[in-house]
């Protein structure tokens, strides 16, 4: 574009030119913004300092064995508990914004958007949180001990206890039956630990429709400050139904997360029944521990742009993935 063309376009920026009137465009000082910046799941799950890289912990999978014997001829075979070492490699999430010195100076001099720089810097942290929220359920890694990608291994891949609610079957009954099956495990005692059911918002709507049609009254509970959700009564007590937009769905005739391909007339919607006390996020943050993403301002580069970089070192662990949690695939249109 020539200089003359640019000047003409600037002249055309006036809303109205007339005798006694020159109207120029002005904008609201507040930027309309309803973008997601947080996740209920991340707010409810405990973060703790990692033991190192990888983060390591032990899981006990069996007790010593006992046997019934003749009371007049006592005998026993020596056995012991079974404990397994579990590693989890720490992953990194970053976000960066470069702020031009000239544009920053113009913005400050105009005084139109005094907080826009601060907002853009704060959004770097928000971007990290949104990436972590999207990896929580559907992170692409396939192994905790031998990483295959740079993302987390999502919950739907970690959890191996699964159930399917077929097209036309009751969703509420299916969820309650799966909770009961988890509690019926004679090896692992998770009574009192099951604390929430996370599900796709569209699946939550299917449950509301089913409850309405069956005249079932759903209770309500507060899951984080100011957020109240529906809850269903199960053998584990009243469990909140937490709608999470980051919980994925699968297309028709598609296999995912260890489930068989969905029917040709149904998608796969997921619900995760979890013991939140057995889920943790180990964090690496240096000498002084902080569970929050860290922000660094780098020096000016050659074109005098300021660089702001946010970073978070952590990973996601669902302990007892084969028994303490369960994923249900609900098949619906």
Question: Does residue 114 register a pLDDT over 70?
Answer: no
pLDDT of residue 149: 97
Phi and psi at 326, nearest 5°, equal -150, 145
Q: Evaluate whether the domain defined by 155-281+315-332 bears CATH number 3.30.2320.
A: yes
What gap in Å lies between CA 27 and CA 247, rounded to an integer?
A: 37
User: Which residue did the predictor score with more confidence, 6 or 119?
Assistant: 119
- Cα–chain center distance at 112: 36
CA dist 70 and 158 (Å) reads 44
pLDDT at 198 over 70: yes
pLDDT for the residue numbered 27: 67
Rounded-to-integer distance, Cα 298 and Cα 232, Å: 50
**pLDDT at residue 6 tops 50:** no
Residue 88 belongs to what H/E stretch?
Answer: strand 82-88
Greatest CA separation for the chain: 117
Asked if 219 and 241 count as a contact pair (C-beta separation under 8 A), the reply is no
Angstrom distances, CA of residue 135 to CA of 23, 109, 152, 215 = 49, 40, 6, 36
Where are the domains positioned within the chain?
A: 155-281+315-332
For residue 61, give both structure tokens.
Answer: 């999978």
At residue 227 the predicted structure's pLDDT band, cuts being 50, 70 and 90, is confident
Residue 3's φ and ψ, nearest 5 degrees, are -60, -40
Q: What is the DSSP string of 288-323?
A: S--SSPEEEEEPP-TT-EEEEEEEEEE--EETTTTT
Report pLDDT for 26.
Answer: 67
Q: Is the pLDDT of residue 2 over 60?
A: no
How far is residue 301 from each of residues 108, 116, 216, measured CA to CA in Å?
21, 21, 62
For the stretch 270-281, pLDDT in tens is 999 999 999 999
Confidence class of residue 325 from pLDDT cuts 50, 70 and 90?
very high
pLDDT of residue 34: 66
Q: Which of 153-167, 174-188, 224-238, 308-322 has the lowest mean pLDDT?
A: 224-238
Is the predicted pLDDT of residue 194 greater than 50, yes or no?
A: yes
Helix (H), strand (E) at residue 142: none
Burial class (CB in 10 A: 0-12, 13-18, 19+), 26: exposed
| Mean of pLDDT values over 296-318 | 85
- Residue 317 half-sphere exposure, CB side, CA atoms within 13 Å? 27
pLDDT-derived band at 53, boundaries 50, 70, 90: very high
Output DSSP code: residue 149.
S
Specify the pLDDT at position 7.
40
CB 280 within 8 A of CB 319: yes
Which pLDDT score is estimated for 8?
A: 40
**∠152-158-161 over CA atoms, to 5°?**
165
Amino acid 41: pLDDT? 92
pLDDT of 116 reads: 77
Q: What is the pLDDT of residue 4?
A: 43
């Amino acid at each position: 574009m020539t200089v003359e063309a640019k000047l003409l376009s600037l002249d055309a920026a006036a809303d109205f030119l007339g005798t006694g009137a020159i109207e120029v465009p002005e904008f609201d000082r507040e930027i309309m913004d309803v973008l997601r910046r947080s996740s209920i799941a991340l707010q409810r799950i405990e973060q703790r300092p990692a033991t190192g890289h990888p983060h390591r912990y032990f899981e006990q999978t069996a007790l010593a064995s006992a046997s019934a014997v003749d009371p007049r001829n006592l005998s026993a075979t020596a056995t012991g508990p079974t404990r397994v070492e579990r590693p989890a490699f720490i992953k990194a999430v970053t976000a960066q914004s470069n702020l031009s010195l000239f544009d920053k100076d113009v913005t400050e001099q105009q005084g139109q958007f005094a907080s826009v720089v601060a907002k853009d810097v704060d959004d770097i942290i928000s971007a990290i949180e949104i990436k972590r929220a999207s990896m929580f359920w559907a992170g692409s890694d396939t192994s905790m001990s031998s990483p295959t990608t740079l993302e987390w291994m999502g919950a739907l891949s970690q959890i191996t206890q699964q159930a399917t609610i077929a097209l036309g079957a009751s969703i509420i009954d299916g969820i309650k039956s799966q909770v009961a099956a988890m509690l019926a495990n004679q090896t692992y005692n998770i009574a009192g630990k099951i604390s929430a059911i996370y599900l796709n918002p569209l699946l939550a709507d299917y449950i509301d429709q089913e409850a309405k049609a069956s005249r079932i009254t759903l209770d309500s509970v507060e899951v984080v400050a100011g957020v109240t959700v529906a809850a269903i009564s199960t053998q584990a007590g009243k469990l909140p139904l937490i709608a999470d937009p980051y919980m994925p769905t699968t297309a028709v005739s598609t296999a995912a997360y260890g489930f068989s391909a969905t029917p040709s007339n149904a998608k796969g919607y997921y619900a995760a029944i979890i013991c939140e006390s057995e889920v943790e996020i180990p964090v690496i943050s240096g000498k002084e521990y902080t569970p929050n993403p860290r922000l660094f301002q780098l020096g000016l580069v050659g074109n005098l742009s300021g660089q702001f970089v946010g970073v978070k070192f952590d990973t996601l662990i669902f302990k007892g993935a084969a028994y303490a949690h369960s994923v249900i695939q609900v098949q619906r249109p």
